[in-house]
């Protein structure tokens, strides 16, 4: 095989791979969403559940409950409307009593976590 043919072959292979990835992305809807929520739940249990309840409104834990957070008009502590941006900042930088997670969670993990909270 000449150099040119080898080069062309690897380009075709790369294009096939790209097409496979794109078509896989096309049929993602429900199963992947479920999978994402399960990952979010695991991240939540691992990092947040010690201090924040999410399955009931009343809570004896250190931090406020996030039960139906996105259906409320206000965050539990203060007057801000629940938003992804605010939660992301709070998770990254923590608070007076809450640890910061910017060293332990990636941006996409925090996004997955917030999807889980939003689904409760
Ligand atoms: C060690 C206990 C602890 C852990 C672990 C913890 N938090 Fe907190 N969190 C708190 C406390 C206490 C507060 C309220 C006081 C403060 O800000 O420190 C709070 C506040 C918050 C707030 C702001 C609430 C409001 O009404 O403004 C958000 C959002 C939040 N936490 C999300 C999370 C998420 C998501 C995780 C997991 C990644 C997490 N927290 C992990 C203790 C914790």
What does the pLDDT profile of the chain (120 residues) look like in tens digits? 567 777 777 787 776 566 666 665 555 556 777 899 999 999 999 999 999 999 999 999 999 999 999 999 999 999 999 999 999 999 999 999 999 999 999 999 999 999 999 999
Q: Which domain holds residue 76?
A: 29-118
For residue 87, which atom of ligand 1 is closest to its CA?
A: 29
The number of CA neighbours under 13 Å toward the Cβ of 25 is 6
Q: How distant, in Å, are the alpha carbons of 22, 59, 62, 104 from that of 100?
A: 36, 22, 15, 8
How many domains are contained in the chain?
1
CATH of the domain at 55: 2.60.40.420
- Cβ(61)–Cβ(53) under 8 Å? yes
Residue whose Cα lies nearest atom 14 of ligand 1: it is 63
Residue whose Cα lies nearest atom 17 of ligand 1: it is 95
Residue 62 lies in a domain: yes
């Amino acid at each position: 095989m000449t150099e040119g043919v080898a080069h062309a072959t690897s380009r075709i292979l790369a294009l096939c791979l790209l097409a496979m990835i794109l078509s896989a992305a096309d049929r993602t809807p429900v199963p992947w969403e479920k999978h994402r929520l399960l990952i979010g739940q695991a991240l939540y249990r691992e990092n947040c559940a010690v201090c924040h309840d999410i399955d009931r409104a009343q809570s004896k834990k250190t931090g406020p409950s996030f039960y139906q957070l996105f259906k409320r008009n206000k965050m539990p502590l203060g007057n801000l409307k629940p938003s992804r941006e605010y939660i992301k900042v709070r998770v990254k930088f923590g608070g007076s009593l809450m640890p910061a997670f910017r060293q332990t969670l990636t941006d996409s993990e925090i996004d997955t976590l917030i999807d889980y909270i939003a689904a409760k």
